[in-house]
Structure 1
Amino acid sequence: MAMQFDDDERAAVYRAIYERRDMRHFVRAPVDATVLSRLIAAAHHAPSVGFMQPWRVARITDPALRAALHDAVERERVRTADALGERHDEFMRLKVEGMLECGELLVMSLMDGRDQYVFGRRTMPEMDLASVACAIQNMWLAARAEGLGMGWVSLFDVDEVRALMRMPAGAKPVAILCLGHVEAFYPRPMLELEKWAERMPVHHCVFENYWPDEPESAKTPQEE
């Protein structure tokens, strides 16, 4: 049988999982280049369908490009607020990114030429996106272990960011990642602290064999 981690090693893995946070508040300080290399290597060791490795990571070092990406996110933030209707003002009070404060700004994208990869994608072409999400999660957990915060920004128009980044046809931005030092990690997810949403009980997400006749989301609080 394969050798399992010892107790301390196993505890460290679970600690990183449970203490990982989507960070929006950063301290203006540089990220050590060696640490950044380790985090990118962690992302690159993520699983990918058909071993296609569809992730592409761009480090944003041009201040003008960082500002332009921030402007694109801000425009989408306003459009998202308008689409939320009665929760508009509540949403606008939330801090949704730390793009101008974080030590490193990265753009994680899907590579071009993905259509040539059929293994595992013939019926589910979206598995390339799932693979990129795995790379992001690897980096997120490694960042937490390094004492760095990371935030995933998805509020942007894909075509606008694609143009700003001069991406080839077929490439697609997936996430703007804010990475850097933080004063403290949130004790719970920020959106939970801000009462935007709550973590649902795990039993709402797990069932055996067949999909339940009544979805958990349809139950009233009295049925819990």
Structure 2
Amino acid sequence: MEEKYLDMVMVPLGLLLLAIYHLWLLFTIARDPKRTVIGLDAQARQRWVRAMMIDTMQNGVLAVQTLRNNIMASTVLATTAITLTSVISVFVRITTTTTSASLLLYGNKSPAAYTIKYFTISLCFILAFLCNVQSIRYDAHVSFLVTTGEAGGVPADYVACSLNRGSFFWSLGLRAFYLSFTLFLWIFGPIPMLASSVAMCCLLFFLDTTTEFTRGFHVSSALKEDVTEEV
């Protein structure tokens, strides 16, 4: 296979691995949410909202401070994303393909390939910016709703749904940052990009699954049942 055709094979293969992993993650969240960190945290947030809305006079300040921390985290990521997009747009206007750099690159060295690489990285950062902005929007909306309490006529399930949507958008923005790292390695060739895609799938599987914790939870539940039966 010629060197210039490696990008046409390895880059789609790396993106396909990431897409298959995230499809499996979505399927697992829908079928067995307790096996994933996203599903388990979503259930925990629902319980947290109900606990906060029982007594808003006592828990209102705690709820607002917690949501403020989420808004600050999303703001930092959104600012970082839009700043990196601006920096990349400057690099696109400047010719970066030098002779010394092309000797270290094994793959397509055409100027059009460099433009596509920087453009895809910019798209990832723009997506991360938009997702984090939506996360800020939902968290700011929840900060008003959670302080009304159940006596205010707002169902706790609706507030929990809004909070989970904000958290899901934050997770999508973080995934866009992960993908941008893989696409950044594409600048150095398709082989580092494919290797980073495989490593990213393994790392995300370790970060997204809770098999070890759920197994311990089931074991502790079984021990409690045995103790109650003996008593």
Output the TM-score relative to the length of structure 1.
0.21
| Greater C-alpha radius of gyration | 2
Greater share of helix:
2
